[in-house]
Structure formats: C-alpha cells, structure tokens
Structure 1
Amino acid sequence: MIQEFKTFIARGNVLDLAVAVIIGAAFGKIVTSLTEDLLMPLIGWIFGGLDFSSYFIALGPIPDKLAGSTDYAALKAAGVPLFGYGAFVTAAVNFAIIAFVIFLIVRAMNRAMPKAPEAPAAEPADITLLREIRDALQKRPGA
C-alpha cells in the first residue's frame, strides 16, 4: 500500500494539483484583501459611505451590551443569529474578481500556447485501398 501511495504521489498531475491548490489559496487571500481592503471601501465611498459589512438583519435577540451596534463581527462573535447580506455581497464580489482574473489568465495562456497542428482528415477506406494498389503496382518490375 505504501508503494502504491508513493507511485500515486510521484505522478506529475498530483504534484501539479498540489501546487495549484497552494497558489490558489494564496491568490484567494490576495483577492479577499483586494475586495475587503480596497474595492469595497472605494465602492462605499462612491455611494456615500456605505459599509457593506454592516448590512445585516438580526434574527435573534441582541445582548444588552451590544444594543444598537452595527458591528457585524462583534454581534456574530456574541452568538447573535444574523442574516449578513452585506458579507454575501462582499463574497460575491470576491468570486466575480477571481473568476474574471482566471478568465484573463486562461485567455492569455490560450493565446500564448502554439496551436496543435490539426490531424489530417481520415481518408475513406476505398481511397486508402486504391493508394495501396497503386503503390504495389509501381513497385512491380517492368511497371
């Protein structure tokens, strides 16, 4: 079983996948920071100070010490059930950015990679047979 595991791990595809997952996780953190630290505050500033993280609906009682609070993280940490649609908007923007960047990367790679030559169309069997007969006749002595 250990030998099978070593063979499995030594495959190129598994190593490529592992590298892709690690890079993807790091890329996800960069995009999250881009969204939460740059884009969402900018969008909030453009639209008059909107802070998407503070958009939620409390679905349960709020503790007295947090009454009137708009701090989503503090309320969530206190165990208040919240319908956090602002956090969802932020996650949706994250997804859109990641999807767009991946689209750009794949598009650039497709343009940069040389196109594989197209395989010639398969000849019908009768044409192949006629070519073989012609070649055999040409090889005969006296032809």
Structure 2
Amino acid sequence: MGMMKEFKEFAVKGNVIDLAVGVIIGGAFGKIVDSVVGDLIMPIVGLVFGKIDFSSWFIVLGTPPAGTAMNLADLKKAGVPVLAYGNFITVAVNFIILAFIIFMMVKQINRLKRTEEAAPAAPAPTPEDIVLLREIRDSLKK
C-alpha cells in the first residue's frame, strides 16, 4: 500500500506532468525539425556540395544476394549489413538545428526573466538572542 501511495505522489507532482507535456511536444517538434532538415535544408546543402543526396551515402558491409539493387532501402530490406553514414549526417544536422532552436528559446526566456524586476527581499528577522542582547544593552544605558 505504501508503494502505491508513493507512486501516486510521484505521478501527480507538477514536475512529472511538465515532463510528460515536454516529451509529447518534443516528439511533435522533432517531426517538424525532421521535415525542415530533410525537405528544406538538406536539399540546399546537397546543391552546394554538387546535388548530393546524403541518404545515398552508405558502405555495404556484407555480400548482397544476387539481383539486389544497390540502393540503401533494398539492401536493408535484403538484410545486408550497411553502414549508412549519410543518414548519420542528416541526423547530425537535424540535432544541430534542434539544439540551436532550443538555445535560442532558452536565451529568449532568460532575457524575459531578467527584464522582470524582482521585488526586494524582506529583511531576515532578527534572531532572538540579538534582540535580547540589544534589550540588555539599552537597559544598561539608562
């Protein structure tokens, strides 16, 4: 019974809910970034480097069965081990773009937080022993 109570307290904490929402939004945002990289950026990068399609960059590590086309999809479908470093390049560019976007968002949020002026903190209460010492001091002065 104690474990269920602990789990309930854990699951309904605000941080867990925030994390769940963040993961869901992150997954959807990841698809948008995949599209931006795959459909917008990588074609431009490929054009700059001579109309190269990075997804076609791979090294065949095994012997393909006779009649298998030498493209990545067919080799993978045939179960041939393939080192698809072109896909890695695409994913790396995807990560860099995503990291930059998150950096810009955090930078903007921090800038907005700095512009909000924090209310001055209330002075800490004087400890009781200091108050008593002051009373003794003041009584001796009289």
Q: Percent identity?
A: 50
Match of 1:21 among 23, 31, 35: 23
User: What CA distance in whole angstroms lies between the structure 2 residues aligned with 1:116 and 1:79?
Assistant: 61
Matches within 5 A, 1:1-143: 1-67=3-69, 69=70, 71-113=71-113, 114=116, 133=133, 137-138=137-138, 140=139, 143=142
State TM-score, norm by structure 1: 0.77
Give distance in 1, aligned partners of 2:120 and 2:96. 35
Consecutive unaligned residues in structure 2, runs of 5 or more: none
Query: How far apart in 1 are the matches of 2:136 and 2:119?
Result: 30
Unaligned runs of 5+ in 1: 123-127
Length-normalised TM-score, structure 2: 0.78
Structure 1's consecutive aligned runs of 4 or more residues displaced over 6 angstroms after TM superposition are: 117-120
Q: Aligned with 1:66: secondary structure? A: coil
Between Structure 1 and Structure 2, how many residues are aligned? 133
What are the superposed Cα offsets for residues 10-60 of structure 1, whole Å, 9 maximum, x if unpaired? 110110111111111111111111111211112112222100000011011
What is the deviation of 1:137? 4.1
